[in-house]
Amino acid sequence: MPGMAVRTAASRVVTTLAAAIRLVTSVVGGLIVLYAVFTLFEANPANPLVQFTAGVRGDLGWFTVDLFGPEDPKIAETVNALIAAIVWVVVGNLLSKAITRLAR
């Protein structure tokens, strides 16, 4: 039954990969949500944590910059950042599920 052991090992690797993808995309989404909260409540832009989350939003959430443009720029940036976070989490979960199905 060596074929069974190889299949089980491959299944574990694929499942671990899927979990890692889900974890990474969730962390990115969480950091972007944190940036949105900082933006909404006008956190100090000189704070290192605020700068870090702004960098994550700029580097990994660029696809929703200026997506919606309400009159209030603070609301616009908050909504656009939250959409980016949702996209990261949803796409990460879908990708993870697709990879897990390949392991079967």
Q: Are 50 and 78 in contact (CB under 8 A)?
A: no
What pLDDT, in 10s, does the model give residues 81-101? 999 999 999 999 999 999 998
Q: Does 18 score more than 60 pLDDT?
A: yes
Residue 49 tokens read as: 């944590």
pLDDT of residue 11: 84
Spell out the domain ranges in the chain. 2-102
Q: Are 36 and 61 in contact (CB under 8 A)?
A: no
Q: Are 60 and 27 in contact (CB under 8 A)?
A: no
CA distance 78 to 94: 24
What pLDDT, in 10s, does the model give residues 29-85? 999 999 999 999 999 999 999 999 999 999 999 999 999 999 999 999 999 999 999
pTM over 0.85: yes
Q: Does 103 score more than 90 pLDDT?
A: no
